[in-house]
Amino acid sequence: MSKPVLLVTRKLPDAIEARAAQEFDARLNPNDEPWFRDGAEIARRAAACEAAGILCAAGDPMGEATIAALPASVRIVTTFSVGTDHVAVAAAKARGLKVTNTPEVLSFATAECAMTLMLMAARRAGEGERMVRAGAWEGWAPTQLMGVTLEGKKLGILGFGRIGREVAAMARGFKMEIHYRDMNRLPPELEQGAIFHDSDDSFLSTIDVISMHVPGGEATRKWLNAERLAKMKRGALVVNTGRGNSVDDAALVEALKSGQIRAAGLDVYDGEPRIFPGYLDLPNVALLPHLGSATIETRLAMGHRTLDNLAAWLIRGEEPPHQV
């Protein structure tokens, strides 16, 4: 019996590509050639190989036009990510396609990234690293690159899901007081003492640091805008490892310039890999290239989860375990 044909849009870890090749007739992208950026090309390649499944990744343009152009042979789209805002899920389901993702395996790694950026912003680590590399460091000085401590600060977590709660657990080790904003209050066993806010005004005016973990979509687009930034304490810190489009970039740049926001740490961007130009010359913003889940352990777990979903549906005829 022939193996199901699987179109893989991105270069994946070696162990994941090896398993894909073993279980499927896998059409890989070993050099990470940029055809994955073109939805029409993804559909063309799927048609050319009569793919039964597509393994895409965050940022691949799997919108309505791409879904509509897919050949009838495609039965499932699985994404190498938790987020699915790059996939037209409703359109896919309307065509009878299964859509799956990789939940639960990247929460800790992404929380680590959030804490890394929080520390970089608070302690001016990016500025210090650039100073040393530029040969401009002349030795220790009593007032050099003074930042702020996280100890005793009020951390506001926007979106208290799995990742937000992992951030809270780590932040407690820094003796931070945890506050959160979400659609609904969570049970006490999940709150672990975190303080719920049922309004933006209460939340923003209380916290010293915001860590953003909201999903994409129109409901959260440019959530952190000029009006909300003005409601924060002067000198607060902003960290975003959730979705780039949840921040109004122009407003954040102005707040960073004025000192309303002391510093920011960003791992995600609106329209990435493009970066809002205003960030590039600001010393008080730490910029990472979407490293949230970028650990060896996490990326392997994500890859196996995508293949588990595909194998369940395409090989065993079972419902995929992680349907969107």
Q: Which residues are catalytic?
A: 243, 272, 290
Write down how long the chain is.
324
User: 17 and 304 in contact (C-beta within 8 Å)?
Assistant: no
Long-range contacts at 279-286 (CB < 8 A, ≥ 24 apart): 279/249, 279/253, 282/253, 282/256, 282/257, 283/126, 283/127, 284/121, 284/124, 284/127, 284/256, 285/121, 285/126, 285/256, 286/117, 286/120, 286/121, 286/125, 286/126
Cα–Cα distances (Å) from 31 to 12, 14, 37, 266, 289, in that order, read 10, 12, 14, 27, 19
**Facing residues of 98 across strands?**
76
> Could you tell me the strand order of the sheet in which 25-27 lies?
25-27, 5-8, 53-57, 76-80, 98-100
| C-alpha span between 89 and 86 (Å, rounded) | 9
Distance CA 111, CA 95 (A): 35
Nearest alpha-carbon partner for 86 in 285, 290, 321: 290
Contact 54, 100 (CB under 8 A): no
162, 183 contact by CB (below 8 A): no
